[in-house]
Amino acid sequence: MEFKGISDSFEKLEVDALAIAVFKDEKANEGILQKLDSATGGMVTSVLEADEIKGKDGETAFLHIVGRDGLKANRVLLVGVGTRDDYTAARQFQLGGTAARTLRNKGMKRIAIIPRSESEAETAAATVVQGAVYGVFEPDKYRTAEKEKRELESVVVVIEGADNSSLNRGVERGRIVGESMNFTRELANEPGGHLTPTGMADRAREIASAFGLEVDVLDRQRMEQEGMGSLLSVARGSDEPPALIVLKYNPPDPGDSGKLLAFVGKGITFDSGGISLKPGENMELMKYDMTGGATVLGAMRALAQLKPPIPVLGVVPCAENLPSGKATKPGDVVRAMTGKTIEVINTDAEGRLILADAIAYAKKLGATRILDMATLTGAVSIALGDVNTAVLGTDQEFIDEVITAGAEVGEKFWQLPLDKEYSKQIKSDIADIKNVGGRKAGTITAAAFLKEFADEVSWAHLDIAGTAWGDEAKPYRAKGPTGVAVRTLIRLVERAS
């Protein structure tokens, strides 16, 4: 798929279809919508007056425009984007997705999108292109019948009067970020039998050599040398060896600020629960328990291409959580890299066990700020559903940065409290701490556990269990992995630069 930005008028564009944002309850009586209306001989007005589309978020109307001289394209897609006041990055992203997905499904090849955004051209173009790349993703790798064969050839973003070079810079950035989100989604969708910890490490090596990142993968032996008893305890039940992936992005002109931002992501390639076995229903979904790790890999893949001026570390502990004669048993006590001892009450609370050692290792490598992300608790879906990602941590400024970066790119984060009182719930009778804190405040006690390992470092944590998987398709995306947080991570680095 090719992408281009165009700052000329849209009438002469040689495309199969033109998509345009339509605001709630608007009439085609001003600006570019009026221009399109005249170019189509009043068809936009007639559709709007017939109430076929009211501009509500997610609505679309597809028009065949034949034999009109004013317009080269003979198809038009009106895409509702809600009210003008609320035309946020999220809506502009969805416009790109809905336009690309809908027109692709109608067999169009070359399309143009008119975002009508008031943001800077570079940002608007980047957002719409991200959405378009994202929108055409299909999780159908393993299908042989009825596989989606239709493909867009080109997408043009039209922002009349914009500066051409910033417009095209935005288009290129959007492509990189959109493709990296899809990289994360593709990994998240891989079945556990296909994507093992070794497979994750291979994918990390691939992006490192394709885009230029430092890479190191710790095997079991090196983990033992580092004393990572917590991470190792999770991998015990599986025949697949664990892997701790370390990626580093070095900027072209490395300063010496002494600061190092690290992203740490949970990479459980399949979570059966271990000896504390999960019920069978929906267990297949636990292939996506490595989405935190895939999010880190996706963000690092994009950063290597976008080349921001600050270094970034990516740490992804990978393991498979299975029961066997060798598996860790409820009641076992393990020793983490920091020396803390952990009573494993429930082997299904394994994410925090692997993150404990990964966070400690990120600190050993010099991280001064750590953001970890994980499909950590079922409880987060009860608290926030699939709308907001939970954010918790010890550094309020850092948490605020994450929330702001999210708002800028159109992703929602909601902070949950992390008062020290919650830590009482993870006190163990026989060890320093235990890995579960009872039924109350499950997302918070999981974070309270991680806090023990982040300790003094500036740290925040994202629980993406509720937002990383979309149970239903939307006009702007397929059902399945959402790629949540990839964009926010990239924005966070750009803001810190």
- Of the two residues 212 and 385, which places its CB atom closer to ligand BES in the complex? 385
Stretch that binds Zn ion, among 37-45, 207-215, 291-299, 348-356 (CB under 5 A): 348-356
481, 185 contact by CB (below 8 A) = yes
- Of the two residues 96 and 293, which places its CB atom closer to Zn ion in the complex? 293
- Of the two residues 465 and 490, which places its CB atom closer to ligand BES in the complex? 465
460, 393 contact by CB (below 8 A) = yes
Judged by beta carbon distances under 5 to 8 A according to partner kind, the member of Zn ion, ligand BES, none in contact with residue 442 is ligand BES
- Of the two residues 172 and 271, which places its CB atom closer to Zn ion in the complex? 271
User: Minimum Å distance from CB 153 to ligand BES?
Assistant: 37
Judged by beta carbon distances under 5 to 8 A according to partner kind, the member of ligand BES, Zn ion, none in contact with residue 233 is none
Which member of 157, 360, 436, 444 binds ligand BES (CB under 6 A)? 436
Site for ligand BES in 276-295 (CB under 6 A): 289
Judged by beta carbon distances under 5 to 8 A according to partner kind, the member of ligand BES, Zn ion, none in contact with residue 377 is ligand BES
Work out whether 320 is an interface residue with ligand BES (CB under 6 A). Answer: no
Work out whether 331 is an interface residue with ligand BES (CB under 6 A). Answer: no
Work out whether 346 is an interface residue with ligand BES (CB under 6 A). Answer: yes
C-alpha to C-alpha distance for 15 and 249, rounded to whole angstroms: 39
Judged by beta carbon distances under 5 to 8 A according to partner kind, the member of Zn ion, ligand BES, none in contact with residue 229 is none
Identify the burial level of 127 via C-beta atoms within 10 angstroms of its C-beta, where 0-12 means exposed, 13-18 middle and 19 or more buried. Answer: buried
In the sheet with 333-335, reading across from the earlier edge strand, the strands are 333-335, 341-343, 433-434
Judged by beta carbon distances under 5 to 8 A according to partner kind, the member of Zn ion, ligand BES, none in contact with residue 378 is ligand BES
The sign of the CA dihedral 254, 255, 258, 260 is negative
User: Minimum Å distance from CB 373 to ligand BES?
Assistant: 12
Stretch that binds Zn ion, among 128-136, 154-162, 283-291, 446-454 (CB under 5 A): 283-291
Size of the site for ligand BES (CB under 6 A): 15
Residues annotated as part of the active site: 278, 352
Which member of 378, 396, 440, 497 binds ligand BES (CB under 6 A)? 378
Work out whether 119 is an interface residue with ligand BES (CB under 6 A). Answer: no
Site for ligand BES in 454-473 (CB under 6 A): 465
C-alpha to C-alpha distance for 322 and 144, rounded to whole angstroms: 30
- Of the two residues 40 and 377, which places its CB atom closer to Zn ion in the complex? 377
Work out whether 289 is an interface residue with Zn ion (CB under 5 A). Answer: yes
**How many CB atoms are closer than 10 A to CB 216?**
16
- Which amino acid, 425? Q
C-alpha to C-alpha distance for 419 and 435, rounded to whole angstroms: 18
Stretch that binds ligand BES, among 119-127, 327-335, 376-384, 388-396 (CB under 6 A): 376-384
Question: H helices of 143-274, where?
Answer: 164-189, 197-211, 220-226, 229-235
**How many CB atoms are closer than 10 A to CB 222?**
12
What Å distances lie between residue 457 and 135, 227, 374, 384, 497, CA to CA?
Answer: 38, 20, 19, 27, 20
- Of the two residues 379 and 409, which places its CB atom closer to ligand BES in the complex? 379
C-alpha to C-alpha distance for 160 and 5, rounded to whole angstroms: 10
354, 445 contact by CB (below 8 A) = no
**How many CB atoms are closer than 10 A to CB 410?**
19
Q: Which parts of this chain interact with Zn ion (CB under 5 A)?
A: 268, 271, 289, 348, 350-351
